[in-house]
């Protein structure tokens, strides 16, 4: 059990790219009950009255935000699939935001880059981020690096993250993330939010 001490007035939970289609079907997510654990953590965060935030990758019609030089997203632009511009539509129904919670639509992997999330957090004196989502090797990795360089205190909730490649998930959470964040389990965070850490 991790010893987590949180100043709730300066802490936010970021549910990053928690896509309905991936979290409901990806074996790494379903076998580990990631949705249920995230739902419990979301409830605990709301009960503790910390700020709950969400991100999802969205684009305007025609994908005008995507450069042909962008290896990550240029294939999506070329696919012919219609763009989704409303981030809430992409978030898993079990953890959908409620009124007053911050939702950012992003156009790159990192939830802080090119969005107003960092401004919202700093405007509310948030210096600690509890981070989870899909994919561990995508939004979680990219946001962790950026947030650490921006001097946020970081907690990555390992059992609420998932990836297409479980080995990559394990490598990141065991070997890479501990250099810049505390890697924790949802139960420990829930206890800390309840004041029993």
From first to last of its 197 residues, the chain has per-residue pLDDT tens of: 567 999 999 999 999 999 999 999 999 999 999 999 999 999 999 999 999 999 999 999 999 999 999 998 888 888 888 999 999 999 999 999 999 999 999 999 999 999 999 999 999 999 999 999 999 999 999 999 999 999 999 999 999 999 999 999 999 999 999 999 999 999 999 999 998 64
CA distance 112 to 108: 9
Alpha helices in the chain (DSSP H): 20-23, 27-30, 34-47, 74-78, 117-123, 141-149, 166-171, 186-194
Other CB atoms within 10 A of residue 192 CB: 22
Tell me, rounded to whole angstroms, the distance of Cα 68 from its chain centroid: 26
CA 139, 141, 145, 148 torsion: positive or negative?
Answer: positive
Taking the model in full, what pTM does it have?
A: 0.95
d(CA 89, CA 158): 25
Q: What is the pLDDT of residue 72?
A: 87
What tokens does 48 get? 């503790």
């Amino acid at each position: 059990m991790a010893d987590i001490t949180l100043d709730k007035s300066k802490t936010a939970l970021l549910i990053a790219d928690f896509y309905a289609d991936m979290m409901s079907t990806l074996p790494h997510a379903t076998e580990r009950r990631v949705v249920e654990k995230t739902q419990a953590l979301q409830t605990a965060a709301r009960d503790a009255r910390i700020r709950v935030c969400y991100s999802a990758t969205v684009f305007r019609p025609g994908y005008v935000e995507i450069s042909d030089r962008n290896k990550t997203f240029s294939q999506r632009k070329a696919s012919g699939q219609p763009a989704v511009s409303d981030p809430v539509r992409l978030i898993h129904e079990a953890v959908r935001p409620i009124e007053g919670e911050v939702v950012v639509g992003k156009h790159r992997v990192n939830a802080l880059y090119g969005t107003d999330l960092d401004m919202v957090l700093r405007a509310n004196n948030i210096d600690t981020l509890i981070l989870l989502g899909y994919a561990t090797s995508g939004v979680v990795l990219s946001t962790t690096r950026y947030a650490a360089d921006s001097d946020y205190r970081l907690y990555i909730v390992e059992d609420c993250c998932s990836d297409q490649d479980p080995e990559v998930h394990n490598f990141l959470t065991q070997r890479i993330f501990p250099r810049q964040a505390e890697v924790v389990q949802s139960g420990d965070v829930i206890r800390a939010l309840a004041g029993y850490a």
